[in-house]
Chain A
Amino acid sequence: MDIFLQQLINGLVLGSVYALVALGYTMVYGILGLINFAHGEVVMVGAMVVLSMISLLSSFPLPLGSELILLISVVSAIIVCSTLAFFMEKVAYRPLRNAPRLAPLITAIGMSILLQNIAMMIWGRQYKTFPDLFSITSYDLAGANITNVQIFIICLSILIMIALLLLINLTRIGRAMRATAENPSIASLMGVNVNTIISLTFVIGAALAAVAGVLVSANYSVAHYSMGFILGLKAFTAAVLGGIGNMAGAMIGGILLGLIESIGAGYISDITGGFMGSHYQDVFAFLVLIVVLVFRPTGIMGERIADRS
């Protein structure tokens, strides 16, 4: 039972990070119909900026508490990532808004390659370790371990998701975003500045990605220039699993994928009688995805789009 609980906790932690990143994918997809392949790299840049800021601030003899150092670092990561995403949209995606569907996908792939390699030039090829700002304490929970960092990750992700749902559902901006997602040209006829809304979507998505980058590197204590790609891929999978374009779907899909992966990794060996080890964790995740999509072709929360003829 304690193994199950342990995998459940690990899954929740992983899942909340996936959910934060998946939100960025799903918001952009909902409005532009674009798979923003470079979104994972934004997560990586967020993690890298935080790491650099922390070591920079710690190296000065300033009377800053570790909480303040972390806060300043995270805020700078958010600013850097949002700016990056803002310009990325402007340069690589906006000119292609009326181009064939796959053209912006290719520029997104180009962006991803570009960012990854620029990051490698700046931060090097080595794994960077997350500095020990706080001491990690471990709590016992009915036979399973949970650390203060993990508790922090889960709580912060939940808070951010609630805030985002409120923003989307209750504010004027949120309404404009939903209208744009529904139909950009009609939204613009109704006086919504579609360009601003799209920029804003990228900026919000990037801010979430920056936070996710911090959380994931704090959880595993490392960051690497190539960490964004796989993470982004998983998050995109989560977004599709939940029903792409749907915010609640991205959250559910993220948590679910995290749980599937970690529980799958824990039990796959038992299920297959030792034939498949934990190496097959990803196989398990993708198989679940395929099965879900076969039965619900538009994801768990996706709307059934009836074809009018």
Chain B
Amino acid sequence: MQGIRNNLVVEINDVSKSFGGLVALSDISLDIKQGEICGLIGPNGAGKTTLFNILTGIYSPDSGVFKINGQECQNLKPHLVVKAGLARTFQNIRLFGNMTGLENVMVGQHVRTKVGVVGAIFRHRYARQEERQIEEKSRALMVYVGLDPDTNQLSNTLSYGDQRRLEIARALATDPVVIALDEPAAGMNATETGELRDLLMRIRKDGVTILLIEHDVKLVMGLCDKVAVLDYGVKIAEGKPNAIKQNKDVIRAYLGGSLS
């Protein structure tokens, strides 16, 4: 836990990014405390997913720095960002379709395990032990998110809601400090959203910080400790959900739409 200031697990400072002439993000700063659920909202095209892709190492920012768990990550490749402690899910689910649910979660532990070719071939004691731990932990995580670890179903045959849950379990398998969820409730009905809310609360209670992009305003307002609002690549507001609801800029950004 080197270099963590004031319990801040995510520190974003003046991050900017443009594509060609289009400014997607300008000077975004955002801090997230350990154990918080931080919501990131904004109209379509506001730059939420771009910010996500920068944080997860898919794009590198034009300028600005950010730290995950105290480690500077702006120039790291995606797999090293995961190692630093940030795991993600995808807006349009990206599971490993032809692997079973359990195998998907087992892949998630790749970054925290180390057996290589020799161990795989000779299965010495350490390799067997590590493999057993991977499987046990993955089973536990599947149960944790409410999936049956014993079904041999390929993940692309799971129901939509189960696929979303599996993605969260897979992200948790990387032992993250922060998980970043990109519209986890998209396409869910009221019951499923309710279950998702319970799951996210449980994840927070177990000490994992959550960064949440979500369109479902009700979910965001009910769940988040704080909310940041993006519009045209600029952070127009940040604060407690109740304050955000009354913020004039936010209301204007949503074209006068009511936020309650």
Contacts and interface: CB of A to CB of B under 8 A. Distances in A.
Asked whether the complex places CB atoms of A and B closer than 8 A, the reply is yes
Interface of A: 307-309
A307 B49 CA distance: 12
Contacts, number: 10
B94 interface: yes
10 contacts: A307-B58, A308-B92, A309-B49, A309-B52, A309-B53, A309-B58, A309-B90, A309-B91, A309-B94, A309-B182
Nearest to A306: B19
Given A309-B49, A309-B52, A309-B58, 7 more contacts: A307-B58, A308-B92, A309-B53, A309-B90, A309-B91, A309-B94, A309-B182
Nearest to B19: A306
Contacts of B52: 309
Which are the 5 A-B pairs with shortest beta-carbon distances? A309-B90, A309-B53, A309-B58, A309-B94, A309-B91
Contacts of A307: 58
A116 to B, nearest CB: 35
Interface in B62-99: 90-92, 94
A232 to B, nearest CB: 32
Interface string B82-124: 0000000011101000000000000000000000000000000
Nearest to B91: A309
A308 B49 CA distance: 10
A173 B257 CA distance: 45
Nearest to A309: B90
Contacts of B90: 309
B89 to A, nearest CB: 10
A307 B53 CA distance: 11
A100 to B, nearest CB: 10
A309 B167 CA distance: 14
A308 B90 CA distance: 10
Contacts of A308: 92
Interface string B7-37: 0000000000000000000000000000000
A12 B133 CA distance: 63
B137 to A, nearest CB: 26
A307 B124 CA distance: 39
Nearest to B88: A309
Interface string B168-189: 0000000000000010000000
Interface string B41-52: 000000001001
A308 B92 CA distance: 9
A308 B91 CA distance: 10
Contacts of B92: 308
Nearest to B52: A309
Contacts of B91: 309
A190 B51 CA distance: 35
Contacts of A309: 49, 52-53, 58, 90-91, 94, 182
A308 B52 CA distance: 12
A307 B56 CA distance: 14
A298 to B, nearest CB: 18
Nearest to B90: A309
B40 to A, nearest CB: 15
B152 to A, nearest CB: 20
A309 B182 CA distance: 10
Contacts of B182: 309
A307 to B, nearest CB: 7
A309 B88 CA distance: 11
A86 to B, nearest CB: 34
